Structure formats: structure tokens, C-alpha cells
Chain A
């Protein structure tokens, strides 16, 4: 069995892993490994053939593969960065030794001075939300269907219903229409959409696809293949309302009912996890609860835009690089970031601030749609920063930069909250 050593081992070669690698390289690291399980680097971007990526990060509108290509060009022909594809990580030990396997190399033990977790996320399934009914062929997560359509070249069906108005569901509604399929409806159990506004407009409204808010599926029909679904309106507690049921004929049901950070390896390492993000708890450097182990991108919390994934991963890459070069000192003051009124999640959950202060970027999501609210950041009972938000939606992240100067002034606790009626 091969035994290998690297300064930085990055698990996952999607946008987060690639951005972390490039940032680590830029910051002086010269012995970096990226491990990717698929046949090529780029992650889920490779199956996202639509446009709309890169406006923030590359200041240009790109397709998913286009964005991946940009990231790949940045790391191409760098002797400091090694990549392994078709390689699965089976386990990471507390000694930061990664057990990985590939057809080409067999089993390998790879030890990193630091590890960056960039495994991304996976899709929630039918079973997790307990949709009743039969269990025929023709039920796919939207992402699995997207891979078959865009990369393998087959259709999952002809007459489609999509449950969930997450972005992948909306994108797939348009994709299936463009492929000549009939998209009967997109159903959403919440009274609001869970996708980006631009996707509602460009993927549904432009194609006359109905979006049924506050509706869910009460039964899937069909023994061998999906024949149709029974749909009902739901009440304010998201329970189906008796008497509102109707039938939609379809041969395919695509599910876009949420994404879950892929944290089997993180749990194996016993990292402290956050119950709402379902990802590891990190500080502003994206350090996890285990020294030398960083995490960034959708494995920490599900992002709305890949641009922010790259941005977060660059932070992790930078600090991992500084750590292996011995450029970080340990005299840090811990500040807990707490969520107050209206804010569901905030990453990072901790600030570890050196005496000279250190800039931090907070990514937040609200719990429910809001209009005309003020985002407030409080320390020791005083608002130290605020921002007026004309609208705030659970589907869109709110980003706030905190200056190094401001972090010096903070107490041991920070609260982020919304103030309404502004």
C-alpha cells in the first residue's frame, strides 16, 4: 500500500476544493493534493450546463463547466498541486491520515499536515420527507436526473412533475422543457419559493410552467412506472387539507427538496457539528473544532451561489497555507457568533481573533421571507454594524464583511439579528 505525505490534503475537487487549492498555492503552499471521486475535476458544476455562474467571482457570466474550467486553468501546470481523480476517501483518522482508494493506485494512506474538507452536499430523498404511495421507477432526485440528461444523454421521462422549488428543481424544469418534455407543474410545500428569483422568472415563467405554492404530494401512483400523483393544498402547519386533493398525470417525479452537507467523513473525525447547517462548526478562517482541519463550501453550509463557495474556500486555503508555513500564531481570542431574531443560520459560528484583529466575512440565512428589515450585528449590547435589506429570503444568503478593526473591539459574544419595521 502506498503511503504519501502532503502539506495540504483537499478532499473533493469541486469548486470549493479547486478554489482552496489555488488560494493555498497563492499564499505560499507548495505541496498540495486534491482528491476527487469522479472521473474529472469540477464537481457538480460539470452537470450544470446552464449559465448564471461566476458573476461575482469572475465578473463574467459562465456556464457550470465554464466556471469549472476557469478554476481548473488557475491550478493547471502547477507542480505544487497534485490531483487524483476516480479516487474515493474511505476514512480520515485523527492523525490526519486519509485512507483513499482508486482503480489505478489501489488503497493509499495519505497523511496531511492540514486537511481541507470540501466534499460538497447531497440531495434529500423521498424517504427523508416520507412521501406516501407506491415505489415505481420514475422518481429521481433532480440532480441525479440532471446528470443523466446532461452528461450521459438520456431522459428520465416525458411528462414531468417537480416537487420542491429549490434551484436545481427550477433549472431542471427548464432543462426538461428544452428537451421536449412536458413539465406539468412545480410543487412547493412552503408558501414561498425556495429558489433564486431569477430562476423562478427564467425557468418557470418564461416557459409557462405553473408553480403551485403551499401544495404537496399525498400519494405517488404506479406499480412499475410512475403513472401520476395526488396533490393537496397544505395548511399553515404544512399538513395536507382534506378535500383539496387533485390528480396530476405524469410518468416522472423529480425531487428538489433540499440539500444536505456531505459530512460522513467529518462525523468520522468527530468534528463539532451545527444542528441547523448540518455542517462542521467553523471559525472565520474555516478551521473546524480539530486543529489543522479546515472546511469550506457546501460541506459547511449549503450556499446559494458557487461564487460564494469559491470565496469561502479561498479563505480556508489561505489559512491552511499560512498554518503549514508556521505563519499563524495561536494567541487567539474566541468570540461566539449567535443568531438572534429572524436569522436561522450564520457561518462562521466562531471568531478566533488575534490581538491585531482579523477581517471576517459572515454568511447568513433568514428563517422566513422578510421585507424592509435591518440586519444588526451586536457586541456587548451595542450595534456595531448594520445593513438595510429591502428584501430577505431564506433562499438567498446575506453576506456581511466585518473589518479587522471592528473585531478588535468585540466582546466575547456577537449577535446577528433582524430588526423589523424600518
Chain B
């Protein structure tokens, strides 16, 4: 059998869990690599979710979800400083609209204290309205969790990957895992779309495909099914009419509920609903779903500014049939699962990574922590965040910072070029959008889309017809045809 690489550990899946694990592995003296089937990292569940770092009162005591959520939340504080992550610790409210719901909040409070969540507090109507004045005046009260935050999930996954690469790990995008290679019930590597990779350990962080990946090694011990959640995102100008932070309705047995929430970049969204489906790829939005989340959010706020909607999207949760995260070794030796990571997976990712890596390093005493692990990564310059004097200095150093390409979000050509050439850089239009916010604003790329396409073609040295929007078959532009007149 031919191998294109011979390494120690392969991580399958470039979401926030896979990249967190890669970063944790890169602390050790071993050869590790992450493979991702899409042209960019974090295009699955990590891309489209509520972007909340939960405090940890929601999951039942003693579950993996509860343990890793509470620990993950704490770990993010240090990671934020080291990696320059966009996180705002705004705190979250669970709002009750009647006495029955107030009783539920008391249960949540008790559960949260048991789970180890700090500083939870029940607020009365006035205190709740003081935090969120746009809520309906007849609400009863809320549960305040000051340790919750909003974040930029894609940026977190990207930063984990960039930190890992800085410490010697390798990331291969557009590389699909086809089969886990085994011999005598032991992992020997992974067959991928780019060739075979020899490895002693394989970590299955394949999100929605985790059960199928496990099955290629003969492990059918769990099933993952997709559960869709739809969202409506509003323009920053609408935020004043919505919320300042994170607002949940009181949860029911069925669902954590449809929330009204600000994003770390100052937009606001409503969503998600929750519908099970079979197709792991269908991320279409539906008019029924839109109506559902609008109606639900109107239970907490009277006027949802629908005219200020700028986009709708949906994400798929990877729900396991066990009800909890699956973080364990398979019956196939050397295969470790980090599967079924639905909410609060984003919050839990750093803690999940610690657990997974502990599972491996327990077997490998000669793998030791590197002394020269570089925990800090450089944060790319963001023009719109700078003071005028700093902007002016940047423009004089590099003229490309003086050209605004995206007017809605004030993104310069300099930042776009940086985002293409940085470690794990952008290869697609949406990749540029996620890294720089060019195209994230109210015109949704109508103005900057053609310009960014031209910049990508120039910087990657490819024809405009080869520039992708997102997926491998998402070409955007075509050569003009010769008409009868032209050929004469």
C-alpha cells in the first residue's frame, strides 16, 4: 500500500472540535495532521449556529455535555487572549413569561449551581427589563447567567488551526476521508481523496458524517442524524430595536427555544428552530421555518424589524442517538471518537480537545509536551477597529489599506490580500467573507463580490472562471461565448 504521509495522528474534520483537537495535539512532540473535505475549514455545524459560549446550566448534571461546557467556557478566557478571539462576555437571559416558566427557571438555577456555573441569578421583571428594554412589558422575570458570551465560531476554528500549524501540525483542505484503514481491528491510517495517509491514531471529528466514518472501520456503535435550525440575521441598524445580549425563552422539554441574540460583530439574529431530517447536506431555508421563528420571537418582543433582514441561513446539528457527546475510543484500537457534538459543542470544544488528547497520550508515554509551544498567534489587522491615526499609518505603509473594497463593513483590499495569504488562508469568495467580513453587510456582496472575485483570481493566480464561492463545484463566472458576429 502506498502512503502520501506517514504520521502519528490524523484528525478527520476541520470544524471547531477537530481544530481544537489539532491545536491540543500540536502541544506534543508528535506528527499530526487534519483533513477537511471542503475547500475551507469549519463549513459544517461550526459555520451556522447561534455562536454562543454557554455558561453551562442547561445540560443535565454529570453528563459529558455539562462537564465539558463548564470547563470549555473557562478555557475560552485564556484562549481569547492567546489567539485574539472575537468573544464578548455579554451574559445570557432566560426569560419567563408566566409563573410556570418562573418555576422552570428555579430548576435551571439549581441545575446550573450543581454543574458548577458561577454567579447565576434570578432577576425580577424590572431588573430584566433594565437589561433588555425592548422585551414585552408583561414578562415575569429571568435567569441571568453572566458567564455566557457571544463569539465568532469560524474565527475560533481558524485560530485553533493557525495555532496548530504554527506548532508544526499540517492542515489539508479539499481532502475527503474515504475509509479508515485497519489491520487486525487496529487503525493503520486513512484512505483519502488525495491518497492514503499512514497513522497510528485516527480522531473522528467528522460532525454529521461521524457515524459513516466510524462505519468504514466496522464500528456501528452510534448513529448521527441531522437536526436543522434556521435563522434570520438583521442589519446592525436594527439592533437598537432588538436586544443587547443573549435572550432565550424558557426551555420546554422539546427545545431550548428560539432566541433573540446579538452577534459579536453587532448584528442581531432570531432562531433557531429544530427539525429532524434525513439529508446531511440539505441546508435550505423554508418559508414555514421563517414564519415559525418570527412567530416565536414575537412572544418576547413585539416588533421584529423584518425590513432590516439581511440574510437567512440554516445549520445542521449533529445529534447522536446516545443523547450525549461521544468522546471515547472505538472498539477499533487507535480510533477515537469526538462525535455527536451538538450544542453546547462550540462552548465545550477546548475541553473536548483536552479529553481526546488525554485518551491518546495515556497510551503514549514517550509523547511529551513541547517546551517551545507557541500559544500566541498574531491577529490580522482589522482596519475598521483601528483609531484614525493607526489607520492613517497603515495606509502610508501599504497603499492597499487605503482602498475600501466592502463599503458596508469597511474592509480594505489590504485585509483581503492578508486573509488570502495568511496561514490556512482564504481560497474562496465566502472564505474571504468569513475572514474579513467583506460581503457580510447589508448589501451582501452586491458591491464587493465582483471586486473580491478579481482580487482572489489575481492573488491565487487563477482565472476568474476558476474562483469558487464556497464548495468545490461552486464556480461563479464563465467565459463569454463567441457570437456569429465575433467569429466572422
Contacts and interface: CB of A to CB of B under 8 A. Distances in A.
Given A103-B399, A106-B396, A127-B311, A132 B290 contact: yes
A215 to B, nearest CB: 15
B104 interface: no
Contact of A224 (B237, B290, B400, B473): B473
Interface of A: 1, 37, 86, 88, 90, 99, 101-107, 122-123, 125-128, 130, 132-138, 140-141, 143-144, 147-149, 152-158, 178-180, 218-220, 223-225, 240, 264, 267
A127 B444 contact: yes
A283 to B, nearest CB: 25
A143 B395 contact: no
A148 to B, nearest CB: 5
B3 interface: no
A101 B402 contact: yes
Contacts of B391: 101, 107
Q: Is the interface of A mostly helix, strand, loop or mixed?
A: mixed
11 contacts: A125-B446, A126-B311, A127-B312, A132-B289, A137-B469, A137-B476, A143-B446, A147-B450, A148-B477, A223-B473, A264-B407
B283 A134 contact: yes
Contacts of B403: 86, 88, 101-103
Contact of A223 (B388, B471, B476): B471
B287 A122 contact: no
A126 B477 CA distance: 19
Instruction: Tell me which of A102, A134, A135, A267 has the highest count of chain B C-beta atoms within 10 A of its own C-beta.
Output: A135
B474 A158 contact: no
B469 A122 contact: no
Contacts of B89: none
Interface in B409-454: 410, 413, 442-447, 449-450, 453-454
Contacts of A149: 480
B475 interface: yes
A153 B481 CA distance: 11
A102 B412 CA distance: 10
A137 B290 CA distance: 22
A20 B473 CA distance: 47
A37 B404 contact: yes
Nearest to A220: B284
Nearest to B443: A122
B287 A132 contact: yes
A144 B480 contact: no
A223 B283 CA distance: 8
B480 A156 contact: no
Given A104-B402, A137-B468, A180-B483, 18 more contacts: A37-B404, A88-B403, A88-B404, A102-B403, A103-B400, A107-B388, A123-B443, A123-B446, A125-B444, A135-B313, A153-B480, A154-B464, A154-B465, A155-B478, A155-B479, A218-B287, A219-B286, A264-B408
Contacts of A138: 476
A148 B402 CA distance: 23
Instruction: Tell me which of A86, A130, A152 has the highest count of chain B C-beta atoms within 10 A of its own C-beta.
Output: A130
B310 A127 contact: yes
A224 B446 CA distance: 19
Contact of B446 (A104, A136, A141): A141
A126 B469 contact: no
Interface residues of B, number: 61
A144 B446 contact: yes
B478 A154 contact: yes
A276 to B, nearest CB: 12
Q: Which 9 A-B pairs have the closest CB atoms?
A: A127-B311, A137-B469, A106-B395, A224-B473, A88-B404, A224-B471, A154-B477, A137-B474, A103-B399
B395 A101 contact: yes
Instruction: Tell me which of B284, B399, B475 has the highest count of chain A C-beta atoms within 10 A of its own C-beta.
Output: B284
A180 B286 CA distance: 33
A153 B453 CA distance: 13
B402 A105 contact: yes
B361 to A, nearest CB: 39
A137 B465 CA distance: 12
A180 B481 contact: yes
Contacts of A1: 388-389, 392
A90 B410 contact: yes
B285 interface: yes
A35 B22 CA distance: 49
Given A90-B410, A106-B392, A125-B310, A156 B290 contact: no
Contacts of A267: 237
B283 A155 contact: no
A106 to B, nearest CB: 4
A267 B235 CA distance: 14
Contacts of B453: 148
A314 to B, nearest CB: 26
Contacts of B472: 224
A155 B480 contact: yes
B309 interface: yes
B232 interface: yes
B191 interface: no
Instruction: Tell me which of A126, A144, A155, A157 has the highest count of chain B C-beta atoms within 10 A of its own C-beta.
Output: A144
Given A122-B446, A132-B286, A218-B287, A179 B399 contact: no
Contact of A144 (B306, B310, B408, B447): B447
Contact of A125 (B443, B469, B479): B443
B78 interface: no
B479 A154 contact: yes
B355 interface: no
Nearest to B48: A135
Nearest to B404: A88
Interface in B279-304: 281-287, 289-290
Contacts of B246: none
A395 to B, nearest CB: 21
Interface in B304-329: 306-307, 309-313
B281 A223 contact: yes
A77 to B, nearest CB: 27
B480 A179 contact: yes
Contacts of A99: 388
Contacts of A86: 403
Nearest to A133: B284
Given A107-B392, A107-B395, A137-B474, A219 B284 contact: yes
Contacts of B389: 1
B233 interface: yes
Nearest to A147: B450
Nearest to B410: A90
Given A86-B403, A127-B312, A153-B480, A144 B449 contact: yes
A128 B285 CA distance: 14
B170 interface: no
Given A37-B407, A103-B400, A132 B284 contact: yes
A157 B388 CA distance: 42
Contacts of B289: 132
Given A132-B285, A138-B476, A144-B450, A224 B481 contact: no
B269 to A, nearest CB: 12
B123 to A, nearest CB: 34
B6 to A, nearest CB: 33
A244 to B, nearest CB: 14
B124 interface: no
Contact of A154 (B443, B471, B480): B480
